Structure 1
Amino acid sequence: MSSEPLVVAEGVRKVYRTGPKEVVALREVSFEVHPGELVAVRGRSGSGKTTLLNQVGGLDRPDAGRVVVDGREVTALSEDDLLGLRRDVVGFVFQSFGLIPVLSAAENVGVPMRLARTPVAEREERVRTLLALVGLERHANQRPYELSGGQRQRVAIARALANRPRLLIADEPTGQLDSQTGRQIMELLRALVRSEGVTALVATHDPSLITLADRVLEIADGVVHEAVRA
């Protein structure tokens, strides 16, 4: 494992304001994630997990502190550079799958490569490889409504890996799945971290899934600390 961290968060603070009311979502959060790790972020709903992932992935900006991903200071990037980061360096998997309903599984996986203007032959080969990797090569032409929840999440994971990101961010990827399917998805993520050489930061509140992580960051009331494993 590399000694240089892929993700560095230093003193990250995020406050949401609704009129005179303030909600502190993150309180001076600091942590590191090293290449090749699968790090789980554990906490109850509303604890700040999604807010934390959004800061790392450049989907939101903190009020204070800094985040560095793959040597780039995310918190200082322009909007264009953030788009580049999300296209080339970070892949996202969401609880709601986020697939395009009118596109087939293969077409959904290919979307990031179309945006990156990957040559057609290379794109099609990468789509075939990824669908095989997540066990869906026989479902390439099916649309999301023809797939189960677990299959849709597998398509979403394949899509997130399309442009060979260094960091995979997954926000409650098993939240809409039954416990058995959820564990299969987490085991798939674990396997992909090893086979694809990707680093993963996964938010979950499911204690049965935590055992698959290399490390666990516990978040409560916007405060993060590393959990002690039993």
Structure 2
Amino acid sequence: MSERDVVTDGRSDGTGTGATVTDEVVRVEGISRTFGRGEHAVHAVRDVSFSAGRGELVAVRGRSGAGKTTLLNMVGGLDRPDEGRIVVAGHDVTGAGERKLLELRRGTVGFVFQTFGLVPILSAAENVGVPLRLARVPAAEREERVAVLLELVGLGAHAAQRPYELSGGQQQRVAVARALVNEPDLLIADEPTGQLDSETGRSIMDLLRAVVHARGMTALVATHDPTLIDLADRVLTLRDGRLVDG
């Protein structure tokens, strides 16, 4: 992106992988998020810090209500912390205005959700191409990139099919392709296998891991499935909104 709030302090925070400023894609410093006030307040995330490097798939695990979704939403610029700082690919997310956040979500960060979020009336190829249309990418380039991504996720032969003609696993693969089509630095996946059977879920995690390593991206994947956590390069555990060991 043309306008970048580049971090120049050259610091590594010592958490996680200890990534340097050149390969550190995500830096989270002491963020907290509380919903409500007084006795009804819910402390969703409490003083969380970590970093994640390029080419790294980081699993975020914890029980329902542990704060996984809130944490990922803040890193992706969908929500703002009450305290702390988040930097993604050199951009200060916490200090960004709405226009800047929109640019980040369209180009720097890709999202995959538990509910696939596909447009029912569009084909697989058209769904993948939606972010490119929003970015006003020329048609010829758009079609080429969509075709490459569908082949990457194993759905080249299903480009013309609509979501209702695809299995759950295939729909999630379309969602993954859509998240990758703008070549983001960071991929955020919130329970991406939650609606899938264990075998299909593992295939989606295998796909995410292969893409992250091959393309040098960073991925934060929230999951509570222990069989999928084993596929991660590193695991962050949340308990009652706090980052804990193990």
TMscore range, shorter length: over 0.9
Q: Please, which of 82, 94, 106 is the counterpart of residue 113 of structure 2? A: 94
Aligned counterpart, 1:34: 53
* Contact 1:94–1:170 under 8 Å retained in 2: yes
Alpha-carbon distance between aligned partners in 2 of 1:137 and 1:117, rounded to the nearest angstrom: 23
Alpha-carbon distance between aligned partners in 2 of 1:226 and 1:33, rounded to the nearest angstrom: 16
The answer to whether 1:69 aligns with 2:55 is: no
Alpha-carbon distance between aligned partners in 1 of 2:104 and 2:184, rounded to the nearest angstrom: 9
Q: What displacement does 1:198 show? A: 1.4
Distance change in 2, residues 1:106/1:18 (3 Å):
farther
Alpha-carbon distance between aligned partners in 2 of 1:182 and 1:112, rounded to the nearest angstrom: 25
Q: Please, which of 20, 33, 51 is the counterpart of residue 3 of structure 1? A: 20
1:105-144 equivalent positions in 2, closer than 5 A: 105-144=124-163
Q: 1:146-176: per-residue Cα shift (whole Å, max 9, x none)?
A: 1000000000000000100010000000000
Q: What displacement does 1:23 show? A: 0.4
**What is the identity, as a one-letter code, of the residue corresponding to 2:112?**
V
Q: Which moved more, 1:11-20 or 1:173-182?
A: 11-20
**What is the identity, as a one-letter code, of the residue corresponding to 2:54?**
P
Q: 1:65-97: per-residue Cα shift (whole Å, max 9, x none)?
A: 111101111011000000000011000000001
* Contact 2:116–2:171 under 8 Å retained in 1: yes
Q: Structure 2, unaligned stretches of length 5 or more?
A: 1-16
Distance change in 2, residues 1:17/1:148 (3 Å):
same
Aligned counterpart, 2:202: 183
Q: What displacement does 1:18 show? A: 6.6
Q: 1:34-93: per-residue Cα shift (whole Å, max 9, x none)?
A: 111000000111110000000000000011111110111101100000000001100000
* Contact 2:55–2:215 under 8 Å retained in 1: no
Q: 1:90-126: per-residue Cα shift (whole Å, max 9, x none)?
A: 0000000110111000000000000011111110000
Alpha-carbon distance between aligned partners in 1 of 2:245 and 2:213, rounded to the nearest angstrom: 22
Alpha-carbon distance between aligned partners in 1 of 2:184 and 2:138, rounded to the nearest angstrom: 18
1:132-211 equivalent positions in 2, closer than 5 A: 132-211=151-230
The answer to whether 1:59 aligns with 2:78 is: yes
Alpha-carbon distance between aligned partners in 1 of 2:77 and 2:244, rounded to the nearest angstrom: 22
Q: Structure 1, unaligned stretches of length 5 or more?
A: none
> Following superposition, which runs of at least 4 residues in structure 1 exceed 6 angstroms of deviation?
none
Q: 1:170-211: per-residue Cα shift (whole Å, max 9, x none)?
A: 000000000000000000001111222211000000000011
Distance change in 2, residues 1:153/1:80 (3 Å):
same
Alpha-carbon distance between aligned partners in 1 of 2:209 and 2:142, rounded to the nearest angstrom: 24
**What is the identity, as a one-letter code, of the residue corresponding to 1:49?**
K
Alpha-carbon distance between aligned partners in 1 of 2:152 and 2:89, rounded to the nearest angstrom: 25
Would you say how many aligned residue pairs link Structure 1 and Structure 2?
A: 227
* Contact 1:17–1:23 under 8 Å retained in 2: yes
